[in-house]
Amino acid sequence: MEVLSKLMKDRFAMICIAFLVIVVLAGIFAPWIAPHSPIDVNVKEKLAGISTSYPLGADQLGRCIFSRLLYGVRTTVFIAFITMAVTVLIGTVLGAIAGVFRGKIDEIIMRVCDIFMSFPSEVMILAIIGMMGPGITNIVIASIIAKWAWYTRMIRSIVLKYTDKNYVQFARVSGFSRWHIFKKHIMPNTAGEIAVLATLDIGSVILMISALSFLGLGVQAPTPEWGMMLNEAKNVMIIRPELMLPPGIAILFVVAAFNFLGDSLQGAFNVKHGTKRR
C-alpha cells in the first residue's frame, strides 16, 4: 500500500500509468471507437489525407490508419503482456525453487539455463520461428523460450540475495518454516524487484514483436500490428513518408512509458526513498 501511495505522489509515473491505461482501454474498446474496419480495403480512399472520417489518413490500400492503430494495441501490447506474464511466471517459480532449495535441483536448473543462454536470443527466436513457421502464437512461444532462462537466473539471484540477510537467518533460528520465511521475508522483497524487471523489459518485448512483424516473421497480414504497419508504410516511403509516423510514434510512446514507469517503480519499492533519515 505504501508503494501505491508513493507512486501516486510521483506525477510522472501517474502520467505514464494514465497513458498506458488509455492505450489498453483503446485496444479493448477498439471495435466501438474505430471509425472503420481495420482490414477493409477501400481503393478509392487510397493514401487519403487526414479528414474527419480518416483521423490519421489511409494507407496505400485505403485502410484507416487510426483504426489499424487501435486494433494494433490488441496484437502488439497484448501479446507483449502475455509473453511477459508467462516468462515471469516460469522465471519466478524456477528461480524461487533454485534459490530456496539450493543443492542438486539448483544445479540442474542453472545448467539448463546455461544451455539456453549460450545462444544469442535473436538467433534462437529466428531458429524457432524458422522451424514452426511465422505466426502470433509462434512468436510468443519463441520469445518465452528465448527469455525464461535469463529471468530464472535473475530471480534466483534476487532470492539468494535475500536469503543471506540476517533477518532470514534469525527467522530460521527461531524455528519458522521455509514457507513462512519465503512468504514473509523473501517474496515481498523480491516481488518489487521482479515488477521493476518486468516493466523495464516489456518495452523490449514490444520492440521485438514489432521487429519480427516488420521482418514478416510475426503477425501475418492483414492483422493490424504496429511493426507490420511500419513495414507496409516503408513501401510508400518515397511518396508518403509520413505514413511511418503513427505506428512509429505509438511504439515509441508505449515503450518509453513502460520504461519510465519501471524507473518510478524502482524508486517506489525502495523503502529508503522518500522518507527522512533520522
Partner 1 sequence: MLEVKSVYKSYSKTGISFRRGRVPVLDDVSFQINTGEWAALVGESGSGKSTLSRLVLGLEKADSGSLLLEGKDAAVWMKENRGQMSVVFQDYITSANPAFKVKDIIHESWKTAGGNKSIHETVESLMRKVGLPLEIKNRYPHELSGGQLQRVCIARAISTSPRFLVLDEAVSSLDVPVQAQILQLLHQLKAELDLTCLFIAHDLQTVAYLCDQIIFLNDGKIVEQIETKYLANAQSAYAKRLLEAVIRFKV
Which positions touch partner 1 (CB under 8 A)?
165-167, 169-176, 180, 184-185, 188-189, 271-272, 275-278
Cell triple for 201: 523489459
Beta carbon nearer to partner 1, 41 or 187: 187
Q: How far is the CB of 193 from partner 1 (least distance, A)?
A: 12
Q: How far is the CB of 185 from partner 1 (least distance, A)?
A: 6
Q: How far is the CB of 199 from partner 1 (least distance, A)?
A: 20
Beta carbon nearer to partner 1, 66 or 162: 162
Q: How far is the CB of 98 from partner 1 (least distance, A)?
A: 19
Q: How far is the CB of 191 from partner 1 (least distance, A)?
A: 11
Beta carbon nearer to partner 1, 157 or 169: 169
Q: How far is the CB of 189 from partner 1 (least distance, A)?
A: 7
Contact 139, 217 (CB under 8 A): yes
Beta carbon nearer to partner 1, 133 or 175: 175
Beta carbon nearer to partner 1, 165 or 234: 165
**Residue 114 CA, distance from chain mean position:** 23
Beta carbon nearer to partner 1, 110 or 245: 110
Q: How far is the CB of 51 from partner 1 (least distance, A)?
A: 55
Beta carbon nearer to partner 1, 49 or 188: 188
Cell triple for 19: 497513458
3-state secondary structure the chain: CHHHHHHHHCHHHHHHHHHHHHHHHHHHCHHHHCCCCCCCCCHHHCCCCCCCCCCCCECCCCCEHHHHHHHHHHHHHHHHHHHHHHHHHHHHHHHHHHHHHCHHHHHHHHHHHHHHHCCCHHHHHHHHHHHHCCCHHHHHHHHHHHHHHHHHHHHHHHHHHHHCCHHHHHHHHCCCCHHHHHHHHHHHHHHHHHHHHHHHHHHHHHHHHHHHHHCCCCCCCCCCCHHHHHHHHHHCCCCCHHHHHHHHHHHHHHHHHHHHHHHHHHHHHCCCCCCCCC
